[in-house]
């Protein structure tokens, strides 16, 4: 028996909406112009559930759930932005800003950064935790790209794009906890990688100034992601 997705109705922030049973809360919210902040999510890549920005309340569920990986159900009642959730999101953002160096004024992605945009949108005015700021390396060995680990938020988008879309699996994450880090191959320099096809997908999916193109000055690095939904659509049609 082939599984057929059914149409289900639910309530998001008091608004009655409908979606298919294999869609997530986030997808349905997007279709209905309801904003849920995200960082590790990117349409066209597999869902990760790591950044915890998209947590929402579902009536009857004991815990907050990530909207990106929770499928809709008939009759579900979702609240995307209570005061409690908003404060949690602010704290999570603050934790990210204190984790590594995110001084925007000196960043090539200034003005085009998803972390920065989220902070502005959610109204993060200050951080309450001390800055950790570990000294992280910058890898500029590749001909065209730079990896600046000081700006990385470990969202794993580059890893997923490289593995799932390009099929190269050059990027991965090593280490644990606060010391984890994105690596090229088995922790080699990007320039000497034999698996990297230099397609630049990782650079363009990266939400911050961690992966950028060479030759860009402050605030010049704009990312182009249009290729992703397009590729996904073409592959689904095959």
What residues line the site for other proteins (CB under 8 A)?
47-52, 55, 63-64, 66, 69-71, 88, 91-92, 95-96, 98-99, 128-130, 132, 153-154, 156, 172-173, 175-180
Neighbours of 167 (CB within 10 A): 9
With CB under 6 A as the contact rule, the residue among 92, 182, 196, 228 that binds ligand SF4 is: 182
When CB distances are held under 5 to 8 angstroms depending on the partner's kind, the choice from ligand SF4, other proteins, none that residue 211 binds is ligand SF4
Contacts of 97 (CB under 8 A, 6+ apart): 115, 119, 124, 127
The Cα–Cα gap between 14 and 101 comes to: 39
Residue from 155, 162, 165, 183 that binds ligand SF4 (CB under 6 A)?
155
Question: Which C-beta is closer to ligand SF4: that of 78 or that of 221?
Answer: 221
User: Could you tell which of ligand SF4, other proteins, none binds residue 152, using a CB distance below 5 to 8 A set by kind?
Assistant: ligand SF4
Residue 128 site contact among other proteins, ligand SF4, none (CB < 5 to 8 Å, cut-off depends on kind): other proteins
Closer residue to ligand SF4, CB minimum distance, 10 or 153: 153
Smallest gap from Cβ 163 to other proteins, in A, equals 10
Min CB(237)–ligand SF4 separation in Å: 27
Taking the mean position of all CA atoms in its chain, how far away is CA 10?
26
User: How many Cβ atoms are within 10 Å of 104's Cβ, its own excluded?
Assistant: 18
When asked if residue 42 is in the footprint of ligand SF4 (CB under 6 A), the reply is no
230 binding partner (options ligand SF4, other proteins, none; Cβ < 5 to 8 Å by kind): none
Q: Which is nearer to ligand SF4, 90 or 157 (CB)?
A: 157
Question: What is the spatial distance between Cα 35 and Cα 29, in angstroms, rounded to a whole number?
Answer: 7
Q: Measure the CA–CA gap between 93 and 116, rounded to whole angstroms.
A: 10
Residue 71 dihedral angles phi and psi, to the nearest 5°: -80, 150
Residues 6+ apart with CB under 8 A from 180: 154, 173, 174
H-type alpha helices, 43-161: 83-99, 114-122, 157-160
Rounded to whole angstroms, the Cα distance separating 97 from 64 reads: 23
Site for ligand SF4 in 94-153 (CB under 6 A): 152-153
Residues contributing to the site for ligand SF4 (CB under 6 A): 152-158, 182, 205-208, 210-211
């Amino acid at each position: 028996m082939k599984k057929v997705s059914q149409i289900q109705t639910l309530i998001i922030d008091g608004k009655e909406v409908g979606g298919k049973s294999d869609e997530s809360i986030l997808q349905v919210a997007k279709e209905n112009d309801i904003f849920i902040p995200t960082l590790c999510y990117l349409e066209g890549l597999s869902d990760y559930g790591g950044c915890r920005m998209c947590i929402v309340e579902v009536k009857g569920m004991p815990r907050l759930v990530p909207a990106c990986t929770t499928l809709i159900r008939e009759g579900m009642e979702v609240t995307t932005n209570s005061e409690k959730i908003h404060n949690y999101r602010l704290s999570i953002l603050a934790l990210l800003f204190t984790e590594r160096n995110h001084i925007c004024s000196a960043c090539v992605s200034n003005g085009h950064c998803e972390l920065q945009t989220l902070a502005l949108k959610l109204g993060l005015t200050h951080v309450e935790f001390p800055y950790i700021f570990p000294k992280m390396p910058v890898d500029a060995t590749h001909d065209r790209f730079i990896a600046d680990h000081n700006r990385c938020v470990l969202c794993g988008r580059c890893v997923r794009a490289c593995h799932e879309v390009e099929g190269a699996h050059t990027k991965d994450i090593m280490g644990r906890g606060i010391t984890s880090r994105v690596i090229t191959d088995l922790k080699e320099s990007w320039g000497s990688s034999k698996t990297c096809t230099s397609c630049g997908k990782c650079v363009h999916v990266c939400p911050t100034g961690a992966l950028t193109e060479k030759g860009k000055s402050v605030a010049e690095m704009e990312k182009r992601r249009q290729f992703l939904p397009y590729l996904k659509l073409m592959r689904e049609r095959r």
